[in-house]
Copies of this chain bind each other. A is one copy, B any other.
Amino acid sequence: MAAVHSRAARSARARLLGISSSSPARSQRAADELGIEHAYDGLTELLADDRLDVVHICTPNALHHEQALAVIASGRHVICEKPLAVTVAQAEELVRAAERAGVTATVPFVYRFHPMVREARARVAAGHVGRLLSIHGSYLQDWLLEAGDDNWRVDAALGGRSRAFGDIGSHLVDLIEFVTGDRIARVSALTSTFFGSRPSHATVTTEDAAAVTLETRGGAIGTLLVSQAAPGRKNRLHLEIAGSAESIAFDQEQPETLWLGRRSGRVLLPRDPAQLGPDAARLSVVPAGHAQGYVDAFAGFVADTYAAIGGESPEGLPRFADGLRAARITEAVLDSAETGHWITIDDEGTA
């Protein structure tokens, strides 16, 4: 992810002062590859560099908590990869720490930065969708399809108790709540670990897939299917919400178009800056018909984070509280799968 972070930071006109990886040698290699000025020996040396305003954390999940706390303690602003932390308690602590320190602390729920996601959100907020009735979401990948596929994320010690849901389901639920303005109230879930071991992991405990039934606070019902072993699906986050007046569907792999469903027909709304609402138009960087993609969304996220650091209040910036929210829902999904019961997502005690 460091390559994407550095590309986006450059696009946002940042100066990339230095990078630190898991060893000095790897730091140097990364600095060379990414064209970054300096390779730090580690986080301590990095935090000692007075010129730094903001630190991007893109390390294994289990390290986020300690590293983000250190960055915050140093008074720096922080962008921390999701999942923000591997437990709700850690995420809560991070939210509190960032608030107390008064720093800008964001999580790259980057799909929020596709202009058509903003347009979907604006349509819901303006009442075009009507009362929210149902939600149909999925996030399907195939990079862990075979027993021989492996990665540090498979290891609960590094990746956390949840894998598929924490890693990609978190994007899906963030998007649902971001677009609808509603909140997931309770879930009934089933998880499955398709391969009990992988080449470097004798025992795999984290889920390859999760199936979820949900109800929102507003009374809508829905389903979520999340899998890292769905052949032919590379990174397909698909969301269709049905309201009493209109449906909206968004496909992350074709992010330039919204599908609007009405009784009278279906509309494919292209990303045409001349016709979008202000927030979607703001995030459009090329004319209609010239595809924006993932890097553009990431660059928008980084630019908005920097704008927030500069004192602005950009619409829809995903902050640590949003990372905490995703952690709560992830925990509820796993708890439901373990107990066989519906689990209510409680926000009490949120910082």
Binding site for B on A (CB under 8 A): 3-4, 7, 10-11, 13, 35, 131, 133-134, 136, 138, 140-142, 145-146, 188-192, 194, 208-215, 219-225, 227, 229-236, 240, 242-247, 252-256, 259-270, 272, 275, 285-296, 340-342
Number of chain copies forming the complex = 4
**Is B233 in contact with A247, judged by CB distance below 8 angstroms?**
yes
**Is B292 in contact with A286, judged by CB distance below 8 angstroms?**
no
A213 to B222, CA, bound (A): 10
If A138-B136, A292-B295, A293-B296 touch, does A232 touch B261 (CB 8 Å cutoff)?
A: yes
The residue on B at minimum CB distance from A207 is B221
Least CB distance, A188 to chain B, in whole angstroms:
4
**Is B133 in contact with A194, judged by CB distance below 8 angstroms?**
yes
Residues from chain B with Cβ under 8 Å of A269 in the complex? 265-266
**Is A142 in contact with B296, judged by CB distance below 8 angstroms?**
no
A-B contact pairs, 8 of them (CB 8 A): A131-B194, A133-B227, A136-B138, A188-B188, A190-B213, A223-B224, A253-B291, A268-B268
Least CB distance, A78 to chain B, in whole angstroms:
23
**Is B233 in contact with A261, judged by CB distance below 8 angstroms?**
yes
Least CB distance, A248 to chain B, in whole angstroms:
9
**Is B263 in contact with A265, judged by CB distance below 8 angstroms?**
no
In order of increasing CB-CB distance, the 4 nearest A-B pairs are A232-B261, A235-B289, A234-B289, A293-B293
Residues from chain B with Cβ under 8 Å of A270 in the complex? 234, 265-266
Residues from chain B with Cβ under 8 Å of A232 in the complex? 246-247, 259-263, 265-266
Residues from chain B with Cβ under 8 Å of A146 in the complex? 244
**Is A265 in contact with B266, judged by CB distance below 8 angstroms?**
no
Residues from chain B with Cβ under 8 Å of A236 in the complex? 289
**Is A134 in contact with B230, judged by CB distance below 8 angstroms?**
yes
A327 to B225, CA, bound (A): 25
A266 to B287, CA, bound (A): 17
Residues from chain B with Cβ under 8 Å of A341 in the complex? 340
If A225-B136, A229-B244, A254-B291 touch, does A190 touch B192 (CB 8 Å cutoff)?
A: no
A269 to B229, CA, bound (A): 18
